[in-house]
Amino acid sequence: MTDTDAVHSAAAIAQAEIDGLTVEYCGEWFRVDPLMVFGVGREAELSVDDNPFLHRRFLEIGRVDGLWWLANVGSRLAATVTDGGGRVQAWLAPGARLPIVFGLLTVIFTAGPTTYEVILHSSQPTFLDNDPVASANGVTTVGTITFTATQKLLILALAEPMLAREGSGRSDIPTSGAAAKRLGWATTRFNRKLDNVCDKLDRVGVQGLRGGISTYATNRRARLVEYAIASRIVTRVDLLLLDGPHPEHPPSAANADAANADAANAAPEARHAS
């Protein structure tokens, strides 16, 4: 290495130290060394879990040509990546990589029945929150998709464990049967509505919900949760809807009798007051 090369290398290292990157997971913070590759997986610099469905090294973070990059080095799993505002989203398939250009980047991925969320913090982001970003290389600007009340309830029932937890970390995706029970629906009804939601998102280009031309992906519930949370289709505030009166669920006969009795008891008092 010549003296000029050494000076350039030292300058690059100094800039990388200024443009720091940290990884947040389950309340722990990890500073990424600009001269090293930082891995996320079952056996990596960040070992998120001993989940056998998770790759030993699934994601890698490194600095190349003055930019931080996130790469999927796994062979089966994909990750959903979104900016801090939930406006821009990418589906990071095996072998793909993307530059880390936002101050906050949320990475959501599922291995088996468990979904994980890791947050990347950049101290010198290329784009600020209000900067326009063009769609390219699999990165899409999240648009508005309208869901019916029952479709949103279905998404909430699946996303509830992830929305209810504090901070980044892991959570389990409910089975269709468990989510249907949470809503008081028959499993067949739940699956039919899940088909409708997946069809709607597939038509607007959301990846990972279909396994083929006419078949649904086996992990579509997990992919739906990843997309819904990354796109802010559902948030923690919406969880209140799960315990409220559900659409298409008329009051039971017992509740109706109780309401009528309350009204009858209140009527004499109203007449007395008048």
What is the band of 145 on the pLDDT scale with cuts at 50, 70, 90?
Answer: confident
Strands 46-47 and 38-41, how do they pair? Answer: parallel
> Is pLDDT above 80 for 252?
no
Instruction: Kindly state the average pLDDT of the residues 154-162.
Output: 96
Q: What is the pLDDT of residues 60-101, one digit of tens each?
A: 999 998 899 999 999 999 999 998 777 788 999 999 999 999
Q: What b/e sequence results for 51-90 when a residue is b if at least 16 CB atoms lie within 10 Å of its CB, and e otherwise?
A: eeebbebbbbbbbeeeebebbbbbeebbbbbbbeeebbbb
What is the predicted pLDDT for the residue at 210?
Answer: 79
What is the band of 34 on the pLDDT scale with cuts at 50, 70, 90?
Answer: very high
Fold of 149-243: Arc Repressor Mutant, subunit A (1.10.10)
> Is pLDDT above 90 for 48?
yes
What is the band of 162 on the pLDDT scale with cuts at 50, 70, 90?
Answer: very high
Average pLDDT, the chain: 80
Helix (H) or strand (E) holding 81: strand 79-83
What is the predicted pLDDT for the residue at 128?
Answer: 60
Highest mean pLDDT among 11-15, 86-90, 173-177: 173-177
Instruction: Return the minimum-mean-pLDDT range out of 13-27, 88-102, 191-205.
Output: 13-27
Looking at the DSSP bridge assignments, the partners of residue 47 are 41
Closest-CA residue to 79 (of 207, 240, 250): 207
Instruction: Report the alpha-carbon distance of residue 84 to residue 99 in Å, rounded.
Output: 15
User: Which tops the pLDDT comparison, 137 or 152?
Assistant: 152
Instruction: Kindly state the average pLDDT of the residues 151-164.
Output: 95
Q: Where are the domains of the chain?
A: 3-141, 149-243
Residue 238 tokens, joined: 């919406």
Instruction: Kindly state the average pLDDT of the residues 160-171.
Output: 88
Closest-CA residue to 106 (of 218, 232, 201, 222): 232
What is the band of 254 on the pLDDT scale with cuts at 50, 70, 90?
Answer: very low
3-state secondary structure 114-167: EEEEEEEEECCCCECCCCCCCCECCEEECCCCCCCHHHHHHHHHHHHHHHHCCC
User: Which tops the pLDDT comparison, 119 or 248?
Assistant: 119
Q: Crossing angle for the helix pair 149-164 and 176-183, nearest 10 degrees?
A: 110
CATH code for the structural domain at 3-141: 2.60.200.20
